[in-house]
């Protein structure tokens, strides 16, 4: 059974602009819905109704003056990895459980300037390390389609909040699939842009050469509007790309006639569950019916993406997380002997098991004697994978395949098997290593009535084309219109 479809981002913005409802009314209604659903879903870490309603009132004044932008008054929630001035910003870790951000991330600045309403900070895997949103210090997020199952990770709170109709859209981050995989498991749409397209300033780092911010929403049109706001050069981020502004909505009405859709043999080999395969193959049949031409392509070294990623990402994490030492901010052990003991106790208490595991792996692969054997080799593999994608894009315009090998698995199912957890990102990691844009859109339902996601991977800076393909698919199908049953107290 399903509820009526929650309003999407664009539909909400139109209703606000037409004065069919006020931002204060909408924000108040969503705060009530969050209060009812969050004890079940645990999607939000921090909610501040007073601040949200104050922002909503200011947005209503802007609308009344005729000074509104496309997102003025629209409620949006943010993954708790983005610094937001005056808001508790925890990265879902005990290490930062009481930290209040003193400044805004670039992404938060963009939403504030547009007049969007901040509905709160969303739960996630601790420091974005995970594939299920179970490693949070504040407890696991639950999938609104089945609360005994995971929503995916690390942006599980973002995907769950949008799927449950708690907000029309949410920000998220993707290091190895953390936007696309939870979007797939929760039946919503998510986009990881080209690396450098969205500023990482004020986004707490996990693996700096892989992390990228992006949006999660109900459909492609909503994602395009969010990308218009989020993308752009920021001089405070050395990896931010200086490119002319573009309208990511421009291809939303395009046809797919003549589009070449690459189908990598490696993505359709063993490992994909039968229900996911059926959903993905059905989606490809829809693309063919719309005029697209499936083309078999080779990504011969894509199977090396997983081991390369789990060398590079932990290595960068071990460096980035060294700043959390109990000296300047964050958790500090209550008792200790000397300075070294304080570091040791603080980090042992402040970080959860998965974060400690990845820090130790990263420190090992960067050690003298192991750097050349592991880290340097992984970086060489990374370049080869990027070259494989470049060759594939000579034969096709976009690559399609599964987002996740299975539908959402049960909470705790992989708690004692980290490798099995890592394998859930097997289809999503390679685009991060190459810095390519990739997205997931709903394409069906599998066993137990759980959502299946179709992944699209594009060449660099082809986000508008990918959004156009997704929009065409969503005009032809209704998977993105499905919503899980209402959360009740």
Instruction: Give the angle subtended at the CA of 256 by the CAs of 253 and 259, to the nearest 5°.
Output: 135
- Token output for 429: 């990691």
**What pTM, to 2 d.p., does this model score?**
0.97
Q: Give the helix, strand, coil percentages of the chain, each rounded to 5.
A: 40, 15, 45
Question: For 222, which DSSP code?
Answer: H
Give the strand pairing for 189-192 and 438-445: antiparallel
Distance between CA atoms of residues 39 and 29, nearest Å: 17
Residues 6+ apart with CB under 8 A from 94: 137, 331, 349, 350, 351, 352
Distance between CA atoms of residues 162 and 182, nearest Å: 11
Residue positions annotated with a catalytic role: 79, 154, 178
Q: What is the pLDDT along the chain (489 residues), one digit of tens a residue?
A: 234 446 799 999 999 999 999 999 999 999 999 999 999 999 999 999 999 999 999 999 999 999 999 999 999 999 999 999 999 999 999 999 999 999 999 999 999 999 999 999 999 999 999 999 999 999 999 999 999 999 999 999 999 999 999 999 999 999 999 999 999 999 999 999 999 999 999 999 999 999 999 999 999 999 999 999 999 999 999 999 999 999 999 999 999 999 999 999 999 988 899 999 999 999 999 999 999 999 999 999 999 999 999 999 999 999 999 999 999 999 999 999 999 999 999 999 999 999 999 999 999 999 988 999 999 999 999 999 999 999 999 999 999 999 999 999 999 999 889 889 999 999 999 999 999 999 999 999 999 999 999 999 999 999 999 999 999 999 999 999 999 985 543
CATH of span 1-489 = 3.90.1300.10
Crossing angle of helices 220-230 and 9-17, rounded to 10°? 70
Handedness of CA 47, 48, 51, 55 (dihedral sign): positive
Distance between CA atoms of residues 348 and 94, nearest Å: 11
Chain Cα centroid distance, residue 362: 23
């Amino acid at each position: 059974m399903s509820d009526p479809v929650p309003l999407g981002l664009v539909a909400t913005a139109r209703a606000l602009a037409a004065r069919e409802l006020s931002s204060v009314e909408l924000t108040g209604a969503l705060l009530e819905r969050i209060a009812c659903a969050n004890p079940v879903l645990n999607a939000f870490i921090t909610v501040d109704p007073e601040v949200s309603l104050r922002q909503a009132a200011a947005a209503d004044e802007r609308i009344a003056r005729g000074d509104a932008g496309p997102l003025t008054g629209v409620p949006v929630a943010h993954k708790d990895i983005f610094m937001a001035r005056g808001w508790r910003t925890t990265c879902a870790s005990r290490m930062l459980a009481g930290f209040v951000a003193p400044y805004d991330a670039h992404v938060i600045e963009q939403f504030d300037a547009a007049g969007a309403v901040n509905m709160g900070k969303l739960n996630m895997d601790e420091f974005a390390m995970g594939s299920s949103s179970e490693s949070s210090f504040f407890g696991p997020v639950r999938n609104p389609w089945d609360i005994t199952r995971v929503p995916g990770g690390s942006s599980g709170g973002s995907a769950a909040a949008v799927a449950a109709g708690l907000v029309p859209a949410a920000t998220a981050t993707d290091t190895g699939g953390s936007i696309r995989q939870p979007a797939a498991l929760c039946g919503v749409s998510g986009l990881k842009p080209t690396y450098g397209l969205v500023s990482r300033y004020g986004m707490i780092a996990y693996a700096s050469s892989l992390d990228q911010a992006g949006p999660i929403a109900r459909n492609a049109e909503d994602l395009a509007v969010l990308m218009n706001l989020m993308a752009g050069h920021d001089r405070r981020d050395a990896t931010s790309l200086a490119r002319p502004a573009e309208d990511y909505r421009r291809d939303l009405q395009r046809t797919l006639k003549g589009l070449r859709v690459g189908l990598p043999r490696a993505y359709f080999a063993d490992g994909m569950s039968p229900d996911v395969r059926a959903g993905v193959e059905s989606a490809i049949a829809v693309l063919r019916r719309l005029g697209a031409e499936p083309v078999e392509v080779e990504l011969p070294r894509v199977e090396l993406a997983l081991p390369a990623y789990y060398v590079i990402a932990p290595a960068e994490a071990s460096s980035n997380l060294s700043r959390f030492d109990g000296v300047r901010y964050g958790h500090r052990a209550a008792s200790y002997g000397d300075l070294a003991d304080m570091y040791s106790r603080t980090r042992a208490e402040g970080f959860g098991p998965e974060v400690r595991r990845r820090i130790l792996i990263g420190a090992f692969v960067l050690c003298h004697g192991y750097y050349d054997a592991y880290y340097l080799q992984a970086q060489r593999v990374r370049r080869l994978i990027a070259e494989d994608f470049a060759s594939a894009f000579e034969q096709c315009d976009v690559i399609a395949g599964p987002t996740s090998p299975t539908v959402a698995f049960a909470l705790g199912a992989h708690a004692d098997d980290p490798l099995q957890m890592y394998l859930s990102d097997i289809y999503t990691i390679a685009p991060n290593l190459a810095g390519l844009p990739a997205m997931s859109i709903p394409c069906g339902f599998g066993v137990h009535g759980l959502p299946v996601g179709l992944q699209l991977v594009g060449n660099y800076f082809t986000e508008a084309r990918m959004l156009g393909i997704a929009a065409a698919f969503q005009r032809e199908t209704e998977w993105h219109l499905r919503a899980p049953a209402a959360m009740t107290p």
